Amino acid sequence: PALCLEDMVKGPCRARHIRWFYNVTAEMCESFFYGGCRGNENRFRTKEDCEDICMTNFIMK
């Protein structure tokens, strides 16, 4: 999906929520600290969610 191609965006707020994003260059899901506001759709609560949505689609092509 297109959302998996978006760059990781922490957002301008200062919270430190651990989230996961799909890193196109590394071809894997990686964790980051999400600030809690704004950001984009390439942000998942769990590594499993990230892998299910992003990695499954890329592996199957």
DSSP labels for 1-61? -GGGGSPP---SS---EEEEEEETTTTEEEEEEE-SSS--S--BSSHHHHIIIIIHHHHT-
* Residue 30, pLDDT above cutoff 80: yes
In words, the CATH class of domain 2-59 is few secondary structures
Cβ neighbours around 23 below 10 Å, total: 17
- pLDDT for position 17: 98
- pLDDT for position 61: 45
- Residue pair 19/31 in contact (Cβ under 8 Å)? The answer is yes
Strand partners, 19: 32
Reported pTM? 0.89
